[in-house]
Every structure is written in structure tokens, then in C-alpha cells.
Amino acid sequence: MVRSGHTTAMKVYIVFILCIIDPNAYNELNNLSMKITMLSRYRRLLKIPAIVFFLLLGIPVLQVLMFKFVNPSFTIPMVWEWCEKKVTRKDYVEFSYEWKDIDQISLHLRKAVLAAEDQRFASHNGFDFIEIKKAFADIKSGKKVRGASTITMQAARSLFLIPWRSIVRKVIEAYYTVFMELFWSKERILEIYLNTVDWGIATVGAHAAAEKYFSCSAKDLTKAQAALLAAILPSPHTWSPTTPDSYVRSRQKRIMKDMRLMPSL
């Protein structure tokens, strides 16, 4: 075994001999050493995009794969709300949340949310380009922009993302949507959505909403109750299913009419 001191001495001796044989050898060796140093630095720099690539691609994929089999016990918006209240020292209202498998949620509610939020859910791959096209047409004409988010996109938002409205969040939401449609069944997407969607102040998921507004379980919701819950989803902190105004009532009637056309997922 050659000791480090002997190794250094051997390197110096070799350089000395080469310089005697060829006076330009030292410069060439020096240039070679600089090139090796630069390559080493580039190699370290290349690790940065590799790490970023893993964070962007790997973590979302691992999250989506995990929740294909594991039922979430909380959501990112719930954690964000808790942290925000702690930082601002405001009163925190504990969330009402209880997971229910899809067969424990009323078929009426399953059909109602499809009728209200995403009527082409069963046929698209996470993005409803018909609704997106209509939304762009509304923007061009100066009309009030309609929502074009699908059930899958809303589930991604409810489970994985902090509640900030921005273009960046929309891009990340679309990114998660691709993987959710790739790895989850439509039933699983709807199940996650129904259990994680915001249904009012400190109310997350179908069961919490059923208990809060109608004092029953998610499985026992009637057709009319389910339609009312679906009717307030665009603005659950403003509208109420227990004291609905005329607009919410009109939405309820339309939803009940469209429910018969929705698939039984």
C-alpha cells in the first residue's frame, strides 16, 4: 500500500522528469489539470438540474402513487390554514373531516357533483377542452369567465396544493392532473374529490358537509339535498344549502334535471 506522502512525491518526480524531456510538458500538464478541474465543476453543476428534475417529476409521481392506495388523513389546504392562523395569531377553527369510501357516499351526491362540476368527467382525460374553449371565448368577448376546471383538477388542488390563486398554481395543478389520470381510476379520482373538497368554513369532504348541513351521513343524502350541496360548490363560503337564495335554488333544479344523465361511478 502506497502512502499519500509517497504518492505526492512520485507525482512531483514524474512532472520533473517530463519537464526535462519536454520543456512544454509542464504547460500541457497544467492545462490538463485546469480542464479536469473545470469538468469537475461542471459535473457538480449538472447535479443541480438533476435534483430539480427529481423534485418536479419524482415527488408528484410518488405522491400520486401513494394516494392511489392510501386514504389521506388531511389535505395541504388544511395544513396551510392551521399554519396561517398560528402565524397571524388568529382563532383557528378545527376542521370537520372524516374519510368515507365511495360506496359509503350517496349515489345522488356522486351524480350531483358530476352534473354540477364536470359532466364530461367519464370521457375526458383530465382536461375538458370544450369548456376550456368556451372559457377563452368568454375572455375574448368580455363576458364573465366560466370555470373550466375538471373534477380531476379540483381534486389535485384540494389534496396537494396551497390555496393561492396564481398562474403558477394552475400549471402545477395541471401537472398533477396528468399523473392522477394516468395512475388512478375514475372512481378513485371521484372518491378523493368527494372526500377532500372544501364545503364551507372548516368543512372538508362529503361526510362533514352532510353532517353539518343536514345532520345525516353522506350515504343517507337525498337527491334534493345532494343537489343543494353540489349547487354551492363554486362558492361554499358564500352560499348555503340550508338557506339557499333564488340562484342556488335555480342551480339545484338544473342539477337535479341533469343527474339522470350522469354515469353511476
pLDDT digit string, tens, across residues 175-231: 999 999 999 999 999 999 999 999 999 999 999 999 999 999 999 999 999 999 999
Q: Calculate the CA 121 to chain-centre distance.
A: 17
Q: Is the pLDDT of residue 2 over 50?
A: no
Give me the torsion for CA of 109, 115, 116, 120, rounded to 10°. Answer: 120
Supply the pLDDT for residue 13.
46
Instruction: State the chain's mean pLDDT as an integer.
Output: 84
pLDDT per residue as tens digits for the range 57-106: 788 899 999 999 999 999 999 999 888 888 888 888 888 999 999 999 99
Q: Using CB atoms within 10 A of its CB, is residue 230 exposed (0-12), middle (13-18) or buried (19+)?
A: buried
- The CATH code for residues 71-259 is 1.10.3810.10
User: What angle in degrees, to the nearest 10, is found between the helix axes of 167-183 and 151-160?
Assistant: 110
Mean pLDDT confidence for 154-163: 93
Q: Averaged over 98-123, what is the pLDDT?
A: 96
pLDDT given at position 12: 47
Query: Model confidence over 25-45: pLDDT tens digits?
Result: 555 555 655 655 655 665 666
* DSSP character at residue 55: I
Which pLDDT belongs to residue 145? 57
- When pLDDT is cut at 50, 70 and 90, the band that residue 164 belongs to is confident
The three-point CA angle 167-172-173 to 5° equals: 90
Torsions phi, psi of 198, nearest 5? -75, 120
Going from N- to C-terminal start, the domains of the chain cover 1-70, 71-259
Cα–Cα distances in Å, from 99 out to 74, 113, 136, 191, 211? Answer: 9, 17, 36, 10, 13
Residue-level pLDDT at 197: 96
How many whole angstroms separate alpha carbon 214 and alpha carbon 219?
A: 12
